[in-house]
Amino acid sequence: MSDKIFIFDTTLRDGEQVPGCQLNTIEKIEVARTLEALGVDVIEAGFPVSSPGDFNSVVEISKAVSNPIICALTRAVEKDIDVAAEALKFAKRGRIHTGIGTSPYHIKSKLNSNPDEILDRAVRAVKYAKRYVEDVEFYAEDAGRSDNEYLARVVEAVIKAGATVINIPDTTGYCLPGEYGAKIKYLMENVSNVHKAILSTHCHNDLGMATANSLSGVLNGARQVEVTVNGIGERAGNTALEEVVMAIKTHHGLPFHTNINSQGIFDASRLVSSLMNMPVQANKAIVGRNAFAHSSGIHQDGVLKNRENYEIIDPVDVGIKESAIVLTARSGRAALNHHLSQMGYTLTKEQLDDTYNRFLVVADQKKNLSEKDLSELMGDANDLQKSVELELLQVVSGKSTLPMAIVHLKIKGVSCAATAEGNGPIDACFNAVKKLIEQEFTLGEFLVQALTRGSNDLGKVHVQVEHKGRVHYGFGANVDIITASVEALADALSKII
């Protein structure tokens, strides 16, 4: 049996079903090209019969990417399959993904049918799709709650009809890992022609076990895993691409590999988060802001001595430059000394002890300490004022108006101004700021949060700026979210200048 695990990405189909996260065709093409660069084997580009927009997206994605298989979803309905085939006509390698529900819930209450009729419809759908493409994937919807013996009958029949991939979805996220793995194992042992097709996992995260179930499926014979970037998707989401890929890569004892270029994971995560307006939770595995951040003194000391003491993944392997040592009241002397040495301070043991005692007093009053706080702690009067301060901001924006911003900054006590245009009011403001700042910097993260409720919300903005290999954070809060954004950027740039 092959040890390669095929990565089937459904960010643009199942992932896009999240309310409020729909993408236009241009955005979908951008995501598809990123997935291609990442190395995914299959891109499920949409459900063509569902809307003209979905149909057009499948067409354009088929033209835009060359290496991955482009897959289109259908129901076990001839019209669906006809439309999918038409949408895939430009694909270098096209796949039709058709199927039907196989659980008692779906057969009786959703489809108002019986097991024999469902089996017949499944076979007819596969044979019909086979008229258009050689590569046909069949999904047994709600397989997680389907009877194993009946599921095996359906799988055997659709493979005989020509299905090349069999998707075993835990549609409702119901299964436990052992239960789902046993289901895959049962099919491997009881479907006589299973060697003629690839079994695929498609797990949802309703009980928080999508990744565990997917890996259990792989351990029991599945060779394709259906995933989304950041684990987005219906309800609680789908199996996260980054979690499966890094679990396989990290566990060297597993005899599996994928084609994923893991160093592109973080950038792909941020792109999907930005385009779909879905912030990644801070403690999200692999790609969350805190995934490689350490604030406990014991952990910080261990990481500074040897990263592998507390990190099983090198952040560089997923496209993050370095771990973050965050200064809080739980931090120890090693972390404090690490930050101070980066700022150019060299302390004796006695000086460090004295500074640490004063540090704890300040840290108990703040959630975390910045370089400005450390400068004040060290008595550096030159850093008591921010190097970059916002003096004036004027923005013109609207439906029929090209966004334009006038920004006045005080940089090291000298006032200066710039005007710039942008794709939106915040982009225009940031472009104006870039004109005033001599240093090269890259905006790594931009996060907006509402602190209160109502139309007069107080908004908090968090930005992450990279300069010469180092990451600096900035924060701003204001009822005007554009002002808060510029203040957050100014805060971050102060730490550079």
pLDDT of 383 over the 50 cut: no
Q: Give residue 473's pLDDT.
A: 81
- The arithmetic mean of pLDDT across residues 181-188, rounded, is 98
Per the annotation, does 202 bind a ligand? yes
Calculate what percentage of the chain has a pLDDT beyond 70.
97
pLDDT tens for residues 210-260?
999 999 999 999 999 999 999 999 999 999 999 999 999 999 989 999 999
pLDDT tens for residues 299-328?
988 888 998 899 999 999 999 888 888 888
Q: Give residue 227's pLDDT.
A: 98
Per the annotation, does 478 bind a ligand? no
- Reported confidence tier of residue 268, pLDDT bands at 50, 70, 90: very high
What average pLDDT is seen over the chain? 92
The DSSP line for 316-347 is: GGGT----EE--STT--HHHHHHHHHHTT---
State whether the Cα torsion 267-269-275-281 is positive or negative.
negative
Identify which of 274-278, 392-396, 436-440 has the greatest average pLDDT. 392-396
- The arithmetic mean of pLDDT across residues 85-114, rounded, is 97
- The arithmetic mean of pLDDT across residues 372-391, rounded, is 72
Collapsing DSSP states into helix, strand and coil, what is residue 41? coil
Q: Give residue 469's pLDDT.
A: 77
Q: Give residue 466's pLDDT.
A: 87
- The arithmetic mean of pLDDT across residues 257-281, rounded, is 94
- Reported confidence tier of residue 162, pLDDT bands at 50, 70, 90: very high
- Could you give the CA distance from residue 189 to residue 181 in angstroms, rounded to a whole number? 12
Q: Give residue 385's pLDDT.
A: 61
Q: Give residue 358's pLDDT.
A: 87
Identify which of 86-95, 318-327, 355-364 has the greatest average pLDDT. 86-95
Q: Give residue 339's pLDDT.
A: 84
- The arithmetic mean of pLDDT across residues 97-121, rounded, is 97
Per the annotation, does 306 bind a ligand? no
pLDDT of 382 over the 60 cut: no
Structure tokens at 294: 């350490």
Q: Give residue 380's pLDDT.
A: 58
Please name each of the domains of the chain with its CATH number: 3-275 (3.20.20.70), 293-381 (no CATH), 388-494 (3.30.160.270)
pLDDT of 39 over the 90 cut: yes
Pick from 51-65, 79-93, 442-456, 480-494: least confident: 442-456
Structure tokens at 117: 């009729």
The pTM assigned to this predicted structure is 0.82
Q: Give residue 27's pLDDT.
A: 95
- Reported confidence tier of residue 453, pLDDT bands at 50, 70, 90: low
Q: Give residue 384's pLDDT.
A: 45
- Could you give the CA distance from residue 433 to residue 422 in angstroms, rounded to a whole number? 12
The DSSP line for 7-37 is: EEE-TTTTGGGSTT----HHHHHHHHHHHHH
Task: Specify the higher pLDDT residue, 1 or 6.
Answer: 6
CA distances to 30, 167, 257, 364 from 243, rounded to whole Å, are 22, 20, 14, 35
Q: Give residue 374's pLDDT.
A: 83
Q: Give residue 381's pLDDT.
A: 43
Per DSSP bridges, beta strands 293-294 and 224-227 are: unpaired
pLDDT of 285 over the 50 cut: yes
- The arithmetic mean of pLDDT across residues 78-83, rounded, is 98
pLDDT of 379 over the 80 cut: no
